[in-house]
Amino acid sequence: MNWHLLSLSFITVFLSELGDKSQLAAIALSGRSKSPRAVFFGTAGALLLTSLLGAIAGGAVAEFLPTRLLKIVAAIGFAILALRLLFGEDEDEDSSDIEATEIIADKQ
């Protein structure tokens, strides 16, 4: 087991998830439900599954494409996201995310 890679992955994902929409959804769901434990296990399971799928997909893609190209594609993707966040004028998307979270919480 590569402990350095394990800790680096943990720290990177932990820091990137702080304040994420998924964390806000978990807060909203646990605040409105009688079972925060169920919300924890549900959100933890979802994060584990998405991380597993990402790791599998990343490993498969890395076999076909050189690492340098993958880093370039990822950098361009993050740059595009950053530019959209900085210069995007769609404030309605944020309110729709909050409404979707409230709808999900109301169904609980």
pLDDT at 106: 58
Q: What is the pTM of this model?
A: 0.55
Mean pLDDT by 10 residues, the chain (108 residues): 88 80 84 87 91 90 88 91 83 55 57
pLDDT at 16: 80
pLDDT at 56: 94
pLDDT at 103: 60
Alpha-carbon distance 54 to 59, whole Å? 8
CA distances (Å), 79 to each of 17, 18, 21, 91, 108, in order? Answer: 19, 20, 20, 20, 37
Alpha-carbon distance 70 to 76, whole Å? 10
Alpha-carbon distance 50 to 16, whole Å? 14
Domain boundaries, the chain: 3-107
pLDDT at 92: 52
